[in-house]
Structure 1
Amino acid sequence: MRVKKSFICSIVLIILISSLFAQASTSLTEQMIKKRITAIEKNIQKVKVELEQKTSMGFNVEQEKVLNNLLLAESFLTEADEYLLRDDLFEAELRVVFAENMLQKSLVFLSTTPVVEGRVISIDANTLSQKAINNKISDLVEEVASTNFNTIFVEVIRGDGYSVYPSAFQLQADELKGKDPLKELVEQAKLHDIDVFPWLKVFFASSNGTPGPILEKHPEWTALDRNGYGYEKAGLAWFSPAHPEARDFIYNSVMELFELYDFSGCQLDYVRYPVNLTEDNDFSYDLYSRELFKTFYGVDPLDIPYYPYGLRVQPDYQRGDHGSLYVSWLAFREELVSSMVGRISIGLREKTPDLPISAGIITALWGGGTIQQAWFRQQKWPDWLERHFVNFLSPMIYQDDSSVVDREVQAIASIAKGQALQYPSLGVYVMKNPYQLIEQIDIVRKNNIAGMRVFAYPHLQEEHFRALKEGPFREKAFPPHRDPLKAAILRVEELMTIFSDEEDLALLYRDLQRVPQEHGSLRYISLQRAIKRTERLIDHKNPRIDYEMEYVKSYLDALLYWERPYK
C-alpha cells in the first residue's frame, strides 16, 4: 500500500494538470467510464495470456514487473468502481487513467529482447549540426549506445540544403566550417560497436521554401510540376532525375562520402518523384525531361492527360489502366529513378562488394494499395530487388494506428518475396505516447521482421529512451545487416541453450557453420541445404522453435537470393 500511495503522489499532479482537467468535463458520463473500465479489463486479460505464452516459450521477460503493474491496474479499477457508486465521476476517471498507465507499463516489461535485431535510430542533420557546435556528439552517441541501438542512419544534408560535412561538391553550412561532424560521429559510433549509414536524400534539394544552395546555382536542374512550379506542397525543392548534370552531381557526392568516411552501409531516401502525400500533382515537367521523353515517344508529356491521384492508388489499379502512352510516361520516370539507384549501388559495390544498401520506400499510410502508392511516386522498388541494387528495405510507416503497421509490414514482405530484409521506419512524431512505440515494435517482431528504424531522434523524449531500455532494447542485439549468416547462427545457438536435446537444431547449426564465406556455387548449395533443414524445423510443433526458424529462414532466403549472381 505504501508503494501505491507513493506512486499516486508522484504522478497525480502531472496527470491533473496535463490531461485530466481536459478529460473531466461536463460531458463525462458514467457509461463512458464503465466502457473504458471494460476495455482495460479485457486488455489486462490479454496481457496475462501473452505473458503465459511467452514464458512457456522460454522468452526472457520481466514477469514479476508485468504482474505487479497488472495488480496495480486492477486495484485502480476497483477504486474506480467504488467512486462510481458515489457518483464521483472525476475521481473515478482519475483511477481509470492510473489503470491505463499501469497497463501500458506492463507492456514495456512484457517485451522480449532478442539476440539478433536491427535497431536503427535516425539522426537528422540539424541535430548533428547543433551537437557539433556544442561539442556534444560524444554525448549523443553515448545516449544512443546506452539504449542499445546498434545502427545510426545519419542525415548528411540539412533542410536548408547545406551539408554537415566538408565537401568538394556539396556546400557546407557556414557555422560548421572547420568542423567535421560526420567524422566524429563515425569514430564515436565505432567505439560503441554501432554501425553508421549515411542517410542520403537522393533527389532532395531543400525543404525551407527556397531552392537551396545547389539549385540556386543550377536552376535548370530543378524538378517542375505541370504548371512549371519548382516546389511540392510542403515547400520542398527537388532535383530533376532526368538532367544528366544533376545525376552526375548526385552520384559524385555519394562516391565522395564513401571515400571520406568508413560507413557500414548506405540508406537511400527520396528516391522517387516529388509528390506530397496531401496533394494531387505530378512531376517533373522540366524542359530536359520533356525533350528526352519526346525523343523516345514523339509526344510532349504536357500533352498527355493527367489522371488524378485517387484513381491511381486504389488496390485494384494496374499500371496500364490509362493506356499505352500514359504508362510509358510512368515507366520513363520510374527508370530514371531506378537507374539512379542502380548507378549508386553499382558504384558503391565496386569498392565494397557486400555493402548493405537500404532504401526508404513509400507505403499506404492512409489506404489504397501499397505498391500503387509507390507507383504514384515512380518508385518501382521491386525492380531494385530484382536487379540487386538494394538488399534492405526501410518502409516509412508513420502511423499511430498499429493495425496499419501490421498491415504494411506484411504487404511489403509479400511483395519483396524474400529478396530483402526489412527495417520498417516507425514515426515517433505521430504517436501519442511512448507505449505506442513499444506496441509497434512488438508488432514488427510478431511478423518476424528483421528489425526496425525509430524515426527520429528529435522526437524521442526521456520517456521513450527509458521505455526502450526497460523493455524491448534492455539487452544488446546483433544487427542482421552486418552478417545475415552470423545472425542465423546466433539465433540457433540461443535455441540450443534452451532445447539442448533437439538433435535437428544441432544439425542445422552444423550446416550453417559449413556455409563458405566466399561467394560461389558451393556457398549457394550450402545455403539451400540449410534452408531445407530450417523448413523442416518450422513444422516442429514447438512454438518457440517455429518462431525462431521463421527468422532464420528470412535471413537465409535473402542471402540465397543475393548469392544468385555468383552461383
Structure 2
Amino acid sequence: MRILKIAFLSVILSVVSCNDNTTAPKENLKTKEVVAEAPTSFKYWKWIAVGDKESASSIEKRFSILKENGIDAILINTNADPKTLSKAAPIANKLGLEVHAWMFTTNRPGDSIAQQHPDWYMVSRSGKSCFVKEDRPYVGYYQWLSPSHPEARKHILSLVEGLAKVEGVTSVHLDYIRYPDVYLPVGLLPKYDLKQEEELPDYDFDYSDASVEKFMALHHKDPRKMENPAIDIEWKNFRLNEIRSLVNEAYEVVHKHDKKLSAAVFPYPEMADHMVRQRWDKWKIDMVLPMIYYNFYNEELDWIGYATKQGVEDLEGKPTELHTGLFTPKLTPEDLKKAIQMAKDNGASGIAFFDDGKMTEEQFEIIKNSKE
C-alpha cells in the first residue's frame, strides 16, 4: 500500500519477507477456522508481510499483537503465494482478523514466470524495457508488465484467482495496479536528483509492441511517432482504460469465488490519473485504500483530510468504500491522532496503516483509544 508501497511508495521502501525457519507446531497448523468478528463501523487495516518459511507460532504472535492493538483487518503480502496465504489465513481468522491477500499486480519484481518472457514488459518512450535491469526507472524492482500483452494479463489474473481460492480470505488486494510513475511525488525527487516539469521519455510508459499495436488498431496512429504524446488524449485514455479493464476483469474473477476486490491507490483520482495513469474512481472495485502519504508531497498534515474528501466525493453514488492509507513512520502519536480524526471527518470508512513492523507502542495506544 514497498519505495513504497507508494504501494509507491513503492518507490522508497522494499517489501520485507519474514524468514523464520522454525517448524510450526501441528496444533497451530490445524487450528479450526472461525468466522472473523464483525468489523467495526470504522475499520482499521494494517499492511504486513509473511514469509513462506515463517512458522505458524511466529505468525500468530505477530497477528495477536495487531489484534490486541485495535487492528480489524490485515493485508498480507505472501508474494502472491496461495500456499503461504493458506497457512496464515486460518491463524488470522482464529484471532478475529479479516484477511486481505495483498499482491504486486502490474509491477511484478522477481516473477520467475514473467522473466521468461521479455516481450511481456513495459517499455518507455525512450525505448527502455522494464525487463532489462539497467533500464528500469527509479529502482531495480520496478519490473512492470504490460496490461496490453494478453499473456501477461492472463498471468496476472491467474495470480489473482490463486489467492481468491484460499479459504478465509475477504478480498484480493491489488498493489502497484498502474503504470510506472510518470511523475514522482515531489518530496521524492531530490532522492533521484530529478526535475519532472513535463513527461520525460525515460518515465513515460508503455511503448511496448503489444501496447502500441493494440492502440493503433483502435486509433490508427502510432504513439512512437507523435511529436508530443503527452497531449494526445486518446493515448493517455488508452492506458487509463488498460488498467481499468484489468481491474474489472480481476473483479469478476474474485467475485466468482465469493471474495471482494480491494486496491492500494494514489491519493485521489485526478492525482492518480496525472501521476501513474490510474483513474480509480472509474473502476469496478469494492474497496480502495488511497495512500495519502502527505509528506511525500511536501504537504501539511491537513492534506490528509483534503485528499480523503476528494476521493469520497469522486466515489459518490458508487458502492466502493474508501479507507484512508497513512504512512505511520512519519507520524508522531499526536499527528496520528489528528490524522485519524481527519479521515473520519471527511467520510473515510476506515484507515490502513503502513509500514510493517515499525509501529510504536505510543502509536498503537492512539489507535486503540480512538476506537473507544
Length-normalised TM-score, structure 2: 0.76
* Aligned 8 A contact 1:137 1:184 in 2: no
Displacement after TM superposition at 1:467 (Å): 3.2
Displacement after TM superposition at 1:449 (Å): 2.0
Say whether 1:426 aligns with 2:321. Answer: no
**What amino acid does structure 1 have at the position aligned with 2:154?**
D
For CA contacts below 8 A with separation 6 or more, give which structure has more relative contact order: 2
Say whether 1:147 aligns with 2:65. Answer: no
Q: In the alignment, which residue of structure 1 is the partner of 2:43?
A: 118
Q: In the alignment, which residue of structure 1 is the partner of 2:177?
A: 271
Q: 1:233 aligns with which of 126, 138, 143?
A: 138
Displacement after TM superposition at 1:410 (Å): 0.9
* Aligned 8 A contact 1:141 1:185 in 2: no
Q: 2:165 aligns with which of 259, 280, 295?
A: 259
Give the 3-state SS of the residue equivalent to 1:263 in structure 2. coil
Displacement after TM superposition at 1:360 (Å): 2.0
| Alignment CA distance shift 1:291-1:267 (3 Å) | same
Q: How does 1:32-431 map to 2 (within 5 A)?
A: 116-124=41-49, 128-129=50-51, 132=54, 135-157=57-79, 163=80, 165=81, 180-206=83-109, 212-229=111-128, 230=130, 231-235=136-140, 236-275=142-181, 277=184, 278=189, 280=200, 281-306=203-228, 322=231, 326-352=232-258, 355-363=259-267, 371-384=270-283, 389-400=284-295, 401-419=300-318, 420-431=320-331
Displacement after TM superposition at 1:331 (Å): 1.5
* Aligned 8 A contact 2:46 2:353 in 1: yes
**What amino acid does structure 2 have at the position aligned with 1:360?**
A
Say whether 1:445 aligns with 2:344. Answer: yes
Give me the whole-angstrom Cα distance separating, in 2, the residues matched to 1:358 and 1:148: 21
Bigger helix fraction: 1
| Alignment CA distance shift 1:238-1:121 (3 Å) | same
| Alignment CA distance shift 1:117-1:227 (3 Å) | same
| Alignment CA distance shift 1:283-1:421 (3 Å) | same
Cα deviations by residue, 1:405-434 (Å, 9 ceiling, x for unpaired): 011011111111141221010011333x23
* Count of aligned residue pairs for this structure pair: 306
**What amino acid does structure 1 have at the position aligned with 2:293?**
Y
* Aligned 8 A contact 1:363 1:374 in 2: no
| Alignment CA distance shift 1:212-1:248 (3 Å) | closer
| Alignment CA distance shift 1:307-1:427 (3 Å) | farther
| Alignment CA distance shift 1:292-1:201 (3 Å) | same
* Aligned 8 A contact 1:131 1:140 in 2: no
- Where do 5+ consecutive residues of structure 2 fail to align? 1-38, 131-135, 190-195
Q: In the alignment, which residue of structure 1 is the partner of 2:370?
A: 472
Q: In the alignment, which residue of structure 2 is the partner of 1:45?
A: none
Cα deviations by residue, 1:186-220 (Å, 9 ceiling, x for unpaired): 111111211101112210111xxxx6533421111
Give me the whole-angstrom Cα distance separating, in 1, the residues matched to 2:246 and 2:40: 36
Cα deviations by residue, 1:123-162 (Å, 9 ceiling, x for unpaired): 13xxx128815951010111111012110111232xxxxx
Displacement after TM superposition at 1:115 (Å): 5.2
* Aligned 8 A contact 1:361 1:374 in 2: no
Is the deviation greater in 244-253 or in 148-157? 148-157
**What amino acid does structure 1 have at the position aligned with 2:329?**
Y
Q: In the alignment, which residue of structure 1 is the partner of 2:23?
A: none
Give me the whole-angstrom Cα distance separating, in 2, the residues matched to 1:372 and 1:129: 33
**What amino acid does structure 1 have at the position aligned with 2:220?**
G
Q: In the alignment, which residue of structure 1 is the partner of 2:34?
A: none
Superposition CA RMSD, Å: 2.3
Give me the whole-angstrom Cα distance separating, in 1, the residues matched to 2:271 and 2:328: 25
Displacement after TM superposition at 1:343 (Å): 0.8
Give me the whole-angstrom Cα distance separating, in 2, the residues matched to 1:227 and 1:261: 45
Percent sequence identity is 23
Give me the whole-angstrom Cα distance separating, in 2, the residues matched to 1:443 and 1:115: 18
* Aligned 8 A contact 2:125 2:204 in 1: yes
Bigger strand fraction: 2
Q: In the alignment, which residue of structure 2 is the partner of 1:80?
A: none
Give the 3-state SS of the residue equivalent to 2:63 in structure 1. helix
